[in-house]
Amino acid sequence: MATAGDGRSSGVGGRIHRLEVENFKSYKGMHTIGPFFDFTAIIGPNGAGKSNLMDAISFVLGVRSVQLRTRAQLKDLIYALDDRDKEAKGRRAYVRLVYQMGADELHFTRTITDAGGSEYRIDGRAVNWEDYNAKLRSLGILVKARNFLVFQGVVESIASKNPKELTALLEQISGSDELRREYDELEELKARVVMERKQKKAQKEEAEKHMRLQQELKLLKTEHYLWQLYTIGKDKEKLEADLAEDRQSLQQVQEKNQSADYELAAKKKEQSGFLKKMTLCEKMMAKKKLELDKKVSGFLLS
């Protein structure tokens, strides 16, 4: 059989005080079970309804009908002595769990309607499943994890699990598996952030490398321009030296030309004097010849 331990759920500061069942499984009519104490044992022969009590607790705490010992439909959980009862109209059943927190009581009621559906109430007020489940969760009762009861054979099953399976079970019991999707999304977001940070870091390093290369290029260009200025300066000095040498040579040539001009002028003057002398000589010779011709003619005539 299953055991309810001391009747406490995992809610802090609260406990199951009693159950009220009506036409649920083998419980015909209205029955009040409890109060439960710090340690409560339920004994009886097979078929006495011990396991159905566990099913009642599971049912009112939101466990699906397919998990309640092979019952496939909610209507199958309504008491029926025979097929005639099963065919009767207006069949209903409910389980009410009275949860005690100090001096206060909190009533959870789950009803199977004649249409075969579930109705949920908290302290007699109709609520939807989401609100019902949220209230249970606030008390530490996780329906999906079924952390409020230990069923027959569960201990052996847990003992045979490997570490990975035990981890999955603990996550389910603690309710952390319901956060897996959010965890996975956050992990994915974290991975994207890490990737973006790596990309930004790579981009930053690339930008810094580019800036460093730009700076190195700028320095190299500066050195190149300085070298060009240096070589231009050297070339200028050489050209200026060559120009000075050429100017000196030109001056020397000009001085030589001037000296030659002076000498030429003197020679021309001297030549002019010689020409004048030659002209005088030619005139004198012409005169002398004329005189000679006259003398010869006079001589011949005489």
Domain of 123, CATH number, reads 3.40.50.300
DSSP 78: B
Give the residue, 125 or 65, on which the prediction is more confident: 125
pLDDT tens column, 173-207: 666 666 777 888 888 899 999 999 999 999 999 99
Q: What is the mean pLDDT of residues 58-80?
A: 78
Residue 255 lies in a domain: no
Q: Does residue 93 contact residue 20 with C-beta atoms inside 8 Å? A: no
Residue 222 lies in a domain: no
Adjacent-strand bridge partners of 106: 99
pLDDT at 98 (0 to 100): 95
Residue 208 lies in a domain: no
Look-up of token digits 């001589």: 299
| pTM value > 0.85 | no
Total domain count, the chain: 1
Q: List CB contacts of 14: < 8 A, sequence separation 6 or more.
A: 8, 99, 100, 101, 106, 139
pLDDT at 31 (0 to 100): 92
Give the residue, 83 or 214, on which the prediction is more confident: 214
Domain boundaries, position 116: 15-171
Q: What is the mean pLDDT of residues 12-23?
A: 85
pLDDT tens column, 160-175: 778 887 777 677 666 6
pLDDT at 4 (0 to 100): 42
Lowest-confidence range among 96-105, 181-190, 221-230?
181-190
pLDDT at 166 (0 to 100): 73
Amino acid at 231: T
Residue 136 lies in a domain: yes
Q: Is the per-residue pLDDT at 239 higher than 70? A: yes
Amino acid at 250: L
Q: Does residue 11 contact residue 100 with C-beta atoms inside 8 Å? A: no
Q: What is the mean pLDDT of residues 38-48?
A: 84
| Terminal C-alpha separation, the chain | 203
Token pair for 1: 């059989």
d(Cα 60, Cα 119) in Å, to the nearest integer? Answer: 10
Q: Is the per-residue pLDDT at 296 higher than 60? A: yes
